[in-house]
């Protein structure tokens, strides 16, 4: 069950010649693949291209009609390896995953693919997760393209340019016998626009046709002496062929006047930001007509020296707009100018930040600083004035708290960490390593459990150095998605092989939840196209783990604590794995809420659980929050003048998971939590029972009030 269904939008993928397609960048990429005769598509979900995998999954019927093979791969490495089909056969193939972490995982396959070269067009669509919307370490994929020498496209962020880049990418790959990486940034993936469509094309050679006539060529195998010949082929043949194709087909673009004393060289993905900054300076209009010459690199690797030299002709200053670091493009262009003995002054990271996202204000400030040095006469008077500095943005870091990500309301992973805190209170602090996924939020307050993560599925492997027979056993966290991605071999297999005495907690929420709720091997859902319902515990025993404990309801904090205590204190020497299973609440609500609302509209009796806090019982020590951290559990100020401290309160976002009550019970906290069922469309029996309860409660309250000692001057 994915985060979002694209079934309705997928029908637009059938549009043909002369039609207009309107939608997101993700859908535009899928349509472009079908228009350009792709033969097979694969990938691994991850922001910002998770939805691309969802679109492809929802379009599986359409792709089958066209003879296109689609596979949701087990990892980015598996996806990249799929491109081997284009090595010997003239089949166009495309894979997609998150970058740069996906590129890191796929690096072995990509390096081999780049060495052997390809016959069919091979396209790697990378969701460049850089900047304020990122969820990973801040790196770029550019360096990997340079290392392995495959070509990198970074199209302008509008649908016609993105669609054209897919076509150009396939053709560039075939013209140079090299794989091509198409980089789409976060905003490019979700930008909305329109473009003129073409008919979908069946692949000229399908994978079924290729199977009927197998081909092989030992010269493509990456072994000596062929691997040495591959390197020479890259430099002598593939690279010149790529540059020739780029120039002849105008993949890079020029905007603005043909001549001028200054110019801007920019990545295609930076075009919108640059144009907007020029508009704000009065140097461009809303249609992109600019007074400053622009050289837009829709292909950021390789850079064609002759094109750059032609752009620099007659210029005294050139600005390079390159987001992120290292400044690969600026260094390359500086080398070109130095070797040519040109006097052009190159600007870049001297006026723009070395690191960080180039937001609208950053871009405006950088272009203003460049123009003040290179062409102050182009700036408006109010900007050009020497004493007119822009207003300083106040530093709010001391007054506004940071907003790190956190568990969703009702998340079944929250009680796991509550149980770990209780175990820590009893047995002392343990060495704990986290892993990629929602459970990594456990390293943040209020839990502060686990302070390092080395990669998807590598939690237990990251703790291997601490498996040295100390006083306390190390604990590792591993998600179910990471388990099937890489953890079974690299982490669990490593533990078994080395007879590890540590403890691993596998957080099983039934999905690859952090990437949008896609099904995985151990999902409980019935999936007609995928093999689900494969228990993690069976896989563990299959690779040699003998001590396995299955917890089927993580909200039982007491049980979770007891199982953790057992794992940390048992005399058993060897890997100990706890599989903590409960369905992702977000996915559960996506499924159950529409059903429940429809049942209410249909007049059916529906009881919705809600939890609350008894204000008279709550002591206000807030220990429940320190062991829960649920967003629906907050503070409420009482009107009672004798109680200054706020008490705990549960708001209307509560989903009735019961975690707060379970935590209070397991931690032996106050009994202030209560459950109330909100009954929709009650029948006669429910109405009678509710009335009876009100009468009994009213009688008890009246009796209590009658016995209360009063201080209003009236004797009782």
What string of H, E and C letters represents the secondary structure of 217-256?
A: CHHHCCCCCHHHHHHHHHHHHHHHHHHHHHHHCCCCEEEC
Predicted pLDDT of residue 711: 66
Among residues 87, 43, 121, the alpha carbon closest in space to that of 210 is found at 87
Dump the DSSP string for 610-649: EEEE-TTT--S--HHHHTT--TTEEEE--S-TT--S-EEE
Both structure tokens of 377: 């006469």
Looking at the DSSP assignment, which residues form a beta bridge with residue 503?
Answer: 475, 576
What is the distance between the alpha carbons of residues 103 and 380, in angstroms, rounded to a whole number? 44
Residue 594 — φ and ψ, nearest 5°?
-60, -40
Among residues 150, 149, 186, 155, the alpha carbon closest in space to that of 168 is found at 155
Angle at 20 (CA atoms; ends 19, 26), nearest 5 degrees = 120
**Composition of the chain by helix, strand, coil, percent to 5:** 40, 15, 40
Question: Interhelix angle for 239-248 vs 305-312, to 10°?
Answer: 40
Cβ neighbours around 212 below 10 Å, total: 8
Predicted pLDDT of residue 299: 98
Among residues 605, 584, 586, 585, the alpha carbon closest in space to that of 596 is found at 605
**Domain 253-384 maps to which CATH number in 3.40.50.300, 3.40.50.920, 3.30.420.40, 3.30.1490.20?**
3.40.50.920
Q: Could you check whether 18-248 and 414-583 share the same CATH topology? A: yes
Among residues 426, 419, 417, 431, the alpha carbon closest in space to that of 471 is found at 431
- Cβ atoms of 541 and 570 closer than 8 Å: no
- Cβ atoms of 673 and 660 closer than 8 Å: yes
- Cβ atoms of 106 and 76 closer than 8 Å: yes
**Domain 414-583 maps to which CATH number in 3.40.50.720, 3.30.70.890, 1.10.3720.10, 3.40.50.970?**
3.40.50.970
Helix (H) or strand (E) holding 11: none
Predicted pLDDT of residue 294: 97
- For the chain, which residues make up each domain, given as ranges? 18-248, 253-384, 414-583, 600-707
Q: 3-class DSSP state for residue 30? A: helix
What is the distance between the alpha carbons of residues 656 and 677, in angstroms, rounded to a whole number? 9
Which CA distances in Å does 483 have to 43, 167, 245, 459, 487? 18, 36, 43, 10, 4
- Cβ atoms of 536 and 504 closer than 8 Å: no
Long-range own/partner contacts, residues 245-248 (CB < 8 A, 24 or more apart): 245/171, 245/172, 245/175, 245/176, 246/172, 246/299, 246/302, 246/304, 246/307, 247/304, 247/306, 247/307
**Domain 18-248 maps to which CATH number in 3.40.50.970, 3.40.1710.10, 3.30.70.330, 3.40.640.10?**
3.40.50.970
Predicted pLDDT of residue 390: 61
Predicted pLDDT of residue 126: 94
What is the distance between the alpha carbons of residues 512 and 47, in angstroms, rounded to a whole number? 12
- State the distance between the two ends of the chain, measured CA to CA, in whole angstroms: 64
Write out residues in the chain with pLDDT < 50, as ranges: 387, 715-716
Looking at the DSSP assignment, which residues form a beta bridge with residue 184?
Answer: 127
HEC assignment per residue over 46-88: CCCCHHHHHHHHHCHHHHHHCCCEEEECCCHHHHHHHCCHHHH
Cβ neighbours around 589 below 10 Å, total: 15
Predicted pLDDT of residue 4: 64
Q: Is the dihedral of CA 360, 364, 366, 367 positive or negative?
A: positive
> What pTM, to 2 d.p., does this model score?
0.87
Among residues 435, 441, 431, the alpha carbon closest in space to that of 456 is found at 435
H-type helices in 341-407, by residue range? 360-374, 381-384
Predicted pLDDT of residue 285: 92
What is the distance between the alpha carbons of residues 360 and 365, in angstroms, rounded to a whole number? 9
Residue 612 — φ and ψ, nearest 5°?
-145, 175
Q: How does pLDDT run across 356-382, given as a tens digit for each residue?
A: 999 999 999 999 999 999 999 888 876
Among residues 581, 545, 551, the alpha carbon closest in space to that of 563 is found at 551
**CB-side neighbour CA atoms (13 Å) of 546:** 7
Which CA distances in Å does 247 have to 77, 294, 336? 32, 16, 18
**CB-side neighbour CA atoms (13 Å) of 65:** 9
Cβ neighbours around 590 below 10 Å, total: 16
Q: 3-class DSSP state for residue 599? A: helix
Q: 3-class DSSP state for residue 458? A: coil
Looking at the DSSP assignment, which residues form a beta bridge with residue 650?
Answer: 633
What is the distance between the alpha carbons of residues 595 and 524, in angstroms, rounded to a whole number? 19
Predicted pLDDT of residue 2: 61
Among residues 195, 169, 183, 143, the alpha carbon closest in space to that of 28 is found at 195
Q: How does pLDDT run across 276-325, given as a tens digit for each residue?
A: 999 999 999 989 999 999 999 999 999 999 999 999 999 999 999 999 99
């Amino acid at each position: 069950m994915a985060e979002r269904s694209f079934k309705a939008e997928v029908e637009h993928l059938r549009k043909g010649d002369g039609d207009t397609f309107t939608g997101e960048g993700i859908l535009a990429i899928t349509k472009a693949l079908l228009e350009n005769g792709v033969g097979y598509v694969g990938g691994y979900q991850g922001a910002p291209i998770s939805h691309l995998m969802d679109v492809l999954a929802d379009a599986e019927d359409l792709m089958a009609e066209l003879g296109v093979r689609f596979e949701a791969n087990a990892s980015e490495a598996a996806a990249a390896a799929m491109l081997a089909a284009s090595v010997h056969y003239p089949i166009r193939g495309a894979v997609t995953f998150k970058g740069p972490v996906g590129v890191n995982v796929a690096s072995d396959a990509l390096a081999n693919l780049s060495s052997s070269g390809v016959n069919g067009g091979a396209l790697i669509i990378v969701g460049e997760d850089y900047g304020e919307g990122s969820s990973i370490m801040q790196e770029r994929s550019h360096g990997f393209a340079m290392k392995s020498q495959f070509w990198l496209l970074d199209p302008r962020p509008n649908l016609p340019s993105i669609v054209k880049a897919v076509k150009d990418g396939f053709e560039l790959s075939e013209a140079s016998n090299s794989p091509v990486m198409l980089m789409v940034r976060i905003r490019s993936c979700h930008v909305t626009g329109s473009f003129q469509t073409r008919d979908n094309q069946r692949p000229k050679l399908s994978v079924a046709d290729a199977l009927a006539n197998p081909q092989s060529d030992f010269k493509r195998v990456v072994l000596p002496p062929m691997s040495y010949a591959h390197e020479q082929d890259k430099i002598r043949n593939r690279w010149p062929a790529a540059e020739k194709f780029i120039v002849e087909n105008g993949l890079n673009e020029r905007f603005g006047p043909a001549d001028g004393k200054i110019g801007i060289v920019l990545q295609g993905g930076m075009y919108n930001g640059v144009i907007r900054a020029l508009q704000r300076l009065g140097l461009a209009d809303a249609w992109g007509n600019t007074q400053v010459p622009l050289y837009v690199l829709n292909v950021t690797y390789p850079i064609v020296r002759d094109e750059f030299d032609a752009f620099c002709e007659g210029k005294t200053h050139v600005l390079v707009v390159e987001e992120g670091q290292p400044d690969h493009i600026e260094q390359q262009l500086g080398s070109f100018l130095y070797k040519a003995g040109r006097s052009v002054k190159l600007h870049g990271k001297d006026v723009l930040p070395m690191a960080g996202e180039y937001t609208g204000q950053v871009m405006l400030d950088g272009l203003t600083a460049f123009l003040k040095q290179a062409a102050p006469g182009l700036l408006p008077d109010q900007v050009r004035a020497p004493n007119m500095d822009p207003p300083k943005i106040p530093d709010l870091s001391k007054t506004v708290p940071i907003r790190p990500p956190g568990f969703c309301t009702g998340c079944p992973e929250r009680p796991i960490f509550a149980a770990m805190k209780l175990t820590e209170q009893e047995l002392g602090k343990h060495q704990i390593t986290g892993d990629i996924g929602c459970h990594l939020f456990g390293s943040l307050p209020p839990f502060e459990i686990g302070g390092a993560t080395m990669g998807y599925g590598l939690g237990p492997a990251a703790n291997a150095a601490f498996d040295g027979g100390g006083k306390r056993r190390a604990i590792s966290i591993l998600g179910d998605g990471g388990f099937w991605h890489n953890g079974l071999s690299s982490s669990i297999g490593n533990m078994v092989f080395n007879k590890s005495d540590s403890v691993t907690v596998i957080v099983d929420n039934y999905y690859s939840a952090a990437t949008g709720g896609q099904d995985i091997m151990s999902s409980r859902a019935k999936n007609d196209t995928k093999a689900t319902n494969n228990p993690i515990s069976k896989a563990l025993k299959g690779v040699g783990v003998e001590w396995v404990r299955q917890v089927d309801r993580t909200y039982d904090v007491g049980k979770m604590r007891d199982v953790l205590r057992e794992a940390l204190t048992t005399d058993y020497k060897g890997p100990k794995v706890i599989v903590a299973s409960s369905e992702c609440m977000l996915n559960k609500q996506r499924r159950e809420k529409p059903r429940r609302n429809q049942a209410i509209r249909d007049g059916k009796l529906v009881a919705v659980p809600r939890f609350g806090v008894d204000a008279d019982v709550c002591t206000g020590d807030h220990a429940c929050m320190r062991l829960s951290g649920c967003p629906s559990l907050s503070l409420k100020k009482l009107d009672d003048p004798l109680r200054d401290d706020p008490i705990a309160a549960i708001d209307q976002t509560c989903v009735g998971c019961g975690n707060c009550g379970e935590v209070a019970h397991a931690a032996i906290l106050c009994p202030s939590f209560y459950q109330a069922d909100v009954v929709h469309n009650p029948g006669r029996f429910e109405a009678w029972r509710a009335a009876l309860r009100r009468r009994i409660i009213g009688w008890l309250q009246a009796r209590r009030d009658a016995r209360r000692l009063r201080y209003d001057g009236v004797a009782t």
